[in-house]
A and B are shown apart, each in its own frame.
Chain A
Amino acid sequence: MATPPVLIEPKKPEEHAIAEEGSSSNAPQVWLLRIASALVVPGILVGFFFAFEFLQRRDINKLIQVTVAVIVGVVGVWVLYWAMDRIVNAFPHRISAGVRPFVFAGPAMVLLAFYLVYPAVNTFIVSFQNAAGTEFVWFANYQRIFTESTYLISMRNSVAWVIIVPAAALVVGLAFATLADKLPRKSESFSKSLIFLPMAISFVGASVVWTFIYSFRPEGFGEQIGVLNAIWVAVGGDSINWLQLPLWNNLLLMVILIWLQTGFSMVILSSAIKSVPEEILEASRIDGANEWEVFRKIIVPSIMSTIVVVWTTILITTWKVFDIVFVMTGGGFDTSVVAERMVTEFFTFGNDGMGAALAVLLFVAVVPILILNISQFRQQEATR
């Protein structure tokens, strides 16, 4: 599942920040201390994990490895933070007040810098290099992406995915949430659980589930074991190899993701619908509005911001999906998408340059959402 929230209107945190007494100093020595204190915890953690060979060996008991990792990763890290806090206390108050926040926030920042910020910058550079990363080819990778049919098909498919999947998951989720809202509580929560259930399933697992829907047996090779072909043959058609059927195969793969994501949209929208005040709905019903009008003119407008959040979140998930295509068709039969192509290029073909260029393409497409998120966030902070 993995759904990063897109923030539109989170709760406004109250004004806070307890400044320690005596304003902190910004002298270079203080900055050195700050950086050092940020590095200690991740440094020791990484050092411990990688220095001890037994955590990396595969022939010894996993239980011991995991126990050690959890003890070090929780208790050990905790003790490290505590020790750092004590060390900082030993400094004059003016300095310790300035350094302490970096003891708290620094380790997370160091991990983020190492695992996300640095790689993102590095990927940009690699995208201008050749397959092995030995020399610069500048825009050659990008030029291929925008001219060769393999990549153009991936992009066409990705665009189709992000248009169809979020819209479909949203419409079905909204319809279901609205209808289930009118049922007695027990039926509502039971029926919602059924829609919700696929959210716990991995993309790989979901692909296997749908393998038994799309399965195909050529005529003369026995009964159809796939649901779709069984229905198709029962209504008089000839069995079809659905996953090789041009254009339709893309749509059928999208159905898998729609199946997975509808639960997410349904849950969020359902809780938004429930927060629409009952008096407003009642009032419009008394004024003679029918249920459809209440839905369209009252409910939908009042949950619009939630609809946008759900739509954007599913859009981002859809854009990054690679597992479904990778498992179902391996990108064959013109079903490739950009995220799947990226892994295939870099992992299967060993073409780092092209993989990086496709990753950059994935990133650039979400930049507008990134900017939107940040400006939303700044507005909230400003109005706080």
Chain B
Amino acid sequence: MTTATRSAPTAAAGGRPSSRFPIYLSVAVIAAIWTIPSLGLLINSFRAPASIRSSGWWTIFGEIFDSATWTLQNYSSVLEGGFANAFANSLAVTIPAVVIPITVAAFAAYAFAWMEFPGRNITFIVVVGLLVVPLQMALIPILRIYTSFDLNGTYPAVWLAHAGFGLPLAVYLLRNYMGSLPSSLIESANIDGATHFEIFTKLILPLSVPVLASFAIFQFLWVWNDFLVALVFLGVDPTNRVLTVELADLAGRGEGALNLLPAAAFITMILPLVVFFALQRYFVRGLTAGSVKG
């Protein structure tokens, strides 16, 4: 899990700070290109509706201190127009869809890492295979089952679908992490008479907090930002819509809703951005685990 990190480059990268100028310049140019689209959207979201329609966001620089330029009107219209409800729906879908697979996967990962049972290798190979199976393969049959039991459009239907779709990655990540813990630790606990259940809850689980956090962030971003699963299993009914479905609907209304789009988009982004930057370390660790030669 730990990648050898070099200390900050000193003289290695080419000597005097002045010779770094071309590097600064190219980094700044790429970073600017990457930031301008979001920045423009952010500026637009605070502009008066009529100005959003009639001029580009870059025209504000002449009137930046004019109080008529800025307004929160778009945010309040958007929230009243369904996004407050959609935000609550997104939370209602996301929280259980993140915590349920973690519990189920943690128990399974422990068994795959530290227990012997017939079929252990072959089932884990199936899990590895399922990592890359496109979600689209599951949509039609699951939708048919849900429809025949009249479960489509309910929260539990979406929670369990997200839990199922997130399991391969969860089991895979957790098993690799738990398996890399020193076996002497588990063996000595075993000799002391601890049962598997005790070893799992008192020893392995506390040690696995970093990887549990990594997966939780993955799954949170994935479920919160998901459009496909919510569209198919929750539907487009206005009371059911999560943020992505609501935003896609707004984007489909064309010119009429143009002034609402920037504020709406930021409402969908705010929580993932906060989570992302607050927990960036865990996220990066999760990403690099297994993909970088340690």
Measured between beta carbons, the chain B residues less than 8 angstroms from A117 are: 126, 130
| Number of residue pairs spanning A and B whose beta carbons lie under 8 angstroms apart | 453
Known: A172-B30, A191-B31. A120 touches B137 (CB 8 A): yes
Q: Tell me how far the C-beta of B134 lies from the nearest C-beta in chain A, rounded to whole angstroms.
A: 4
Measured between beta carbons, the chain A residues less than 8 angstroms from B213 are: none
Measured between beta carbons, the chain B residues less than 8 angstroms from A172 are: 30
Contact partner of B291 (CB less than 8 A), chosen from A14, A42, A191, A309, is: A309
Interchain CB contact under 8 A, B27 and A115 = no
With an 8 A cutoff between CB atoms, is A111 at the interface?
Answer: yes
Interchain CB contact under 8 A, B96 and A70 = yes
Contact partner of A225 (CB less than 8 A), chosen from B56, B100, B132, B139, is: B56
Interchain CB contact under 8 A, A223 and B54 = yes
Interchain CB contact under 8 A, A227 and B40 = yes
Interchain CB contact under 8 A, B140 and A123 = yes
With an 8 A cutoff between CB atoms, is B268 at the interface?
Answer: yes
Measured between beta carbons, the chain B residues less than 8 angstroms from A128 are: none
Find residues 95-120 in chain A having any chain B CB closer than 8 Å to their own CB: 98, 100-102, 104-105, 107-109, 111-112, 114-120
CA gap between A211 and B259 in the complex, in Å = 12
Q: Tell me how far the C-beta of B270 lies from the nearest C-beta in chain A, rounded to whole angstroms.
A: 10
Known: A204-B268, A212-B57, A359-B140. A14 touches B180 (CB 8 A): yes
With an 8 A cutoff between CB atoms, is B35 at the interface?
Answer: yes
Interchain CB contact under 8 A, A17 and B115 = yes
Measured between beta carbons, the chain B residues less than 8 angstroms from A42 are: 104
Find residues 33-71 in chain A having any chain B CB closer than 8 Å to their own CB: 41-42, 45-46, 49-50, 55-56, 58, 62, 65-66, 69-70
Known: A259-B34, A275-B294, A346-B140. A104 touches B196 (CB 8 A): yes
CA gap between A81 and B226 in the complex, in Å = 30
Q: Tell me how far the C-beta of B127 lies from the nearest C-beta in chain A, rounded to whole angstroms.
A: 7
Q: Tell me how far the C-beta of A237 lies from the nearest C-beta in chain B, rounded to whole angstroms.
A: 16
With an 8 A cutoff between CB atoms, is A264 at the interface?
Answer: yes
Measured between beta carbons, the chain B residues less than 8 angstroms from A16 are: 113-114, 179, 183, 186
Closest chain A residue to B25 by CB distance?
A179
With an 8 A cutoff between CB atoms, is B77 at the interface?
Answer: no
Interchain CB contact under 8 A, B160 and A104 = no
With an 8 A cutoff between CB atoms, is B261 at the interface?
Answer: yes
Find residues 1-39 in chain A having any chain B CB closer than 8 Å to their own CB: 1-20, 24, 26
Interchain CB contact under 8 A, A262 and B120 = no
Interchain CB contact under 8 A, A107 and B108 = yes
Measured between beta carbons, the chain B residues less than 8 angstroms from A70 are: 95-96, 99
Measured between beta carbons, the chain B residues less than 8 angstroms from A305 are: 293
With an 8 A cutoff between CB atoms, is A157 at the interface?
Answer: no
Q: Is the interface of B mostly helix, strand, loop or mixed?
A: helix
Interchain CB contact under 8 A, B108 and A109 = yes
With an 8 A cutoff between CB atoms, is B284 at the interface?
Answer: yes
Q: Which of A136-144, A160-168, A195-203, A241-249 contacts B (4 or more CB under 8 A)?
A: A195-203
Closest chain A residue to B89 by CB distance?
A62
Interchain CB contact under 8 A, B180 and A104 = no
With an 8 A cutoff between CB atoms, is A310 at the interface?
Answer: yes
Measured between beta carbons, the chain B residues less than 8 angstroms from A377 are: 125, 128
With an 8 A cutoff between CB atoms, is B70 at the interface?
Answer: no
Interchain CB contact under 8 A, B117 and A24 = yes
Find residues 277-293 in chain B having any chain A CB closer than 8 Å to their own CB: 277, 280, 284, 287-293
With an 8 A cutoff between CB atoms, is B68 at the interface?
Answer: no
Known: A4-B132, A363-B137. A14 touches B179 (CB 8 A): yes
Interchain CB contact under 8 A, B149 and A26 = no
Measured between beta carbons, the chain B residues less than 8 angstroms from A19 are: 116
Further pairs besides A116-B130, A306-B292, A362-B134: 17, Cβ < 8 Å: A9-B290, A13-B176, A16-B179, A17-B115, A73-B96, A102-B117, A105-B117, A108-B171, A116-B137, A179-B27, A187-B27, A200-B277, A202-B272, A204-B268, A208-B265, A259-B34, A271-B3
Q: Using a CB–CB distance below 8 Å, which chain B residues touch chain A?
A: 1, 3-6, 8-9, 12-14, 20, 23-24, 26-28, 30-31, 34-38, 40-41, 44, 52-59, 88-89, 91-92, 95-96, 99-100, 103-105, 107-108, 110-118, 120-121, 123, 125-142, 144, 149, 151, 154-156, 159-161, 163-165, 167-169, 171-173, 175-176, 178-183, 186-187, 190, 195-197, 200, 218, 221-222, 224-228, 231-232, 239-240, 244, 247-248, 251-252, 261-262, 264-265, 268-269, 272-273, 275-277, 280, 284, 287-294
Of the A-B pairs whose beta carbons lie under 8 Å apart in the complex, a sample of 19, sorted by A's number, is A1-B221, A9-B290, A16-B186, A45-B160, A46-B160, A50-B156, A81-B107, A111-B164, A112-B164, A179-B30, A195-B30, A195-B31, A197-B273, A205-B269, A208-B262, A330-B252, A356-B140, A370-B132, A373-B131
Nearest 7 CB-CB pairings of A with B = A115-B164, A13-B179, A202-B225, A108-B108, A49-B156, A101-B117, A10-B290
